[in-house]
Homo-oligomer: A and B are copies of this chain.
């Protein structure tokens, strides 16, 4: 097992927000106040957050009701622009810490605490892509997630 090497910028806080904004504007999309709020809220969670979680958080911060609907629209945009990822097995979303580079990523989700770590392993995801192609599938988008128990929960 090895991790494919590549130089990528791991962002956090302001830096992440800036990277996200830049990425989105490069795509010809606008970086609006609402989008910034949704991104902030998303990035503030330390585990995958549902659209409703995010709607609630944004509502709290803005002191007004923000509908899940609007959040979904923005999340879809984010996912399309690689600013966020959807965790299929959790019906939830996480901010992408390096929106700059494109990866099939692998999520490890703890069934106990919900903590999720994200790893990149291009040899694994490449293998999955390749298997899909061999089976006649085009435009494959791998979804690779692992449910289990994280080290912290295991030792407690």
Oligomer: number of copies: 2
Asked, given contacts A141-B146, A144-B142, whether A1 binds B151 with beta carbons under 8 Å apart, the answer is: no
Query: Please, how many residues of chain A have a CB less than 8 angstroms from a CB on the other chain?
Result: 36
Interface presence of A88 (CB below 8 A)? yes
Once bound together, how far apart are the Cα atoms of A144 and B144, in whole Å?
5
Q: Tell me which residues across on chain B come within 8 A of A150, comparing CB atoms.
A: 136-137
Interface presence of A44 (CB below 8 A)? no
Q: Tell me which residues across on chain B come within 8 A of A141, comparing CB atoms.
A: 146-148
Is the Cβ of B131 less than 8 Å from the Cβ of A121? yes
Q: Tell me which residues across on chain B come within 8 A of A137, comparing CB atoms.
A: 108, 110, 146, 148-151
Interface presence of A80 (CB below 8 A)? no
Nearest-Cβ distance from residue A106 to partner chain B, whole angstroms: 7
With contacts A108-B135, A137-B151 known, what are 20 further pairs, Cβ within 8 A?
Answer: A1-B127, A1-B130, A88-B143, A88-B145, A106-B131, A108-B140, A110-B137, A119-B135, A121-B131, A124-B127, A124-B131, A127-B127, A128-B144, A136-B154, A137-B150, A138-B151, A141-B146, A141-B148, A143-B144, A143-B145
Q: B-contacting residues of A (Cβ < 8 Å)?
A: 1, 88-89, 106, 108, 110, 117, 119, 121, 123-124, 127-132, 134-151, 154
Is the Cβ of A136 less than 8 Å from the Cβ of B151? yes
| A1, A127, A137, A141: residue with the most chain B Cβ atoms closer than 10 Å | A137
Q: Tell me which residues across on chain B come within 8 A of A135, comparing CB atoms.
A: 108, 117, 119
Q: Tell me which residues across on chain B come within 8 A of A145, comparing CB atoms.
A: 88, 142-143
